Amino acid sequence: MEDRSSWQIKDEATLTELVALMNLSPEEIAVMKDMLPEAQAAAPGMTKTFYERLFAHDATAEYLKNVSMDRLHGMVQTWFAELFSGQYDNAYAQRRLTIGHVHVKIGLPVRYPLAMLDVVMPFGEQVAAKHANPTLAAQAFRKVLALDVAIFNQAYEDNQLKHLAELVGGERLARRLLAGT
């Protein structure tokens, strides 16, 4: 297996790369910003549905014992509203990577956060539907959410790669092992 240029893209640079890959345009960024007040208004409802879903399933509810639910509600509301910040810079990428790492550290399988998009998506779609240009707004929301999912997942992959690389003595070998070659 040959080396790939994507292997050199790390940390916050992954967001810059993905913004380019997804063709996130200045118009789409402006539309996201327009929606911020509506998103802030929708955030408490989104968060309520989010935790109802997680508490209704034993394997996910287990993670929410002994944590401050007030704090978590606030942080997930902020997470949702920040999707609409219109500022997808290095600081944004760092914040989103850190959120991913927090979930790595609690031993949460990545399938759970990924599955929760089913809750997040309709709330974003409802916000977009209220915009003067709902088609563009929905497209922008889908892109920014896709970026976020990619970054969240990247935190998991970075962690696995880091530990495997330490174990086998290098990232190239770790990547080859993960590829099964």
SS (H, E, C) the chain: CCCCHHHHCCCCHHHHHHHHHCCCCHHHHHHHHHCHHHHHHHHHHHHHHHHHHHHCCHHHHHHHCCCCHHHHHHHHHHHHHHCCCCCCCHHHHHHHHHHHHHHHHCCCCCHHHHHCHHHHHHHHHHHHHCCCCHHHHHHHHHHHHHHHHHHHHHHHHHHHHHHHHHHHCCHHHHHHHHHCC
Instruction: Check residue 76 for interaction with ligand HEM (CB under 6 A).
Output: yes
- Shortest separation between residue 101's beta carbon and ligand HEM, angstroms: 9
**How many residues make contact with ligand HEM (CB under 6 A)?**
19
Instruction: Check residue 113 for interaction with ligand HEM (CB under 6 A).
Output: yes
Candidates 13, 30, 41, 64; binder of ligand HEM (CB under 6 A) is 64
Gap between the Cα atoms of 152 and 83, Å rounded: 13
Instruction: Check residue 56 for interaction with ligand HEM (CB under 6 A).
Output: no
Instruction: Check residue 103 for interaction with ligand HEM (CB under 6 A).
Output: yes
Q: Which is nearer to ligand HEM, 79 or 84 (CB)?
A: 79
Instruction: Check residue 88 for interaction with ligand HEM (CB under 6 A).
Output: no
Segment contacting ligand HEM by CB under 6 A, of 10-18, 25-33, 68-76, 84-92 = 68-76
Instruction: Check residue 146 for interaction with ligand HEM (CB under 6 A).
Output: no
Instruction: Check residue 20 for interaction with ligand HEM (CB under 6 A).
Output: no
- Shortest separation between residue 27's beta carbon and ligand HEM, angstroms: 26
Q: Which is nearer to ligand HEM, 73 or 176 (CB)?
A: 73
Gap between the Cα atoms of 21 and 49, Å rounded: 32
CA angle 32, 35, 36 (to 5 degrees): 95
Instruction: Check residue 110 for interaction with ligand HEM (CB under 6 A).
Output: no
Sites of contact with ligand HEM (CB under 6 A): 54, 60, 63-64, 67, 72, 75-76, 79, 98-99, 102-103, 106, 108, 112-113, 116, 120
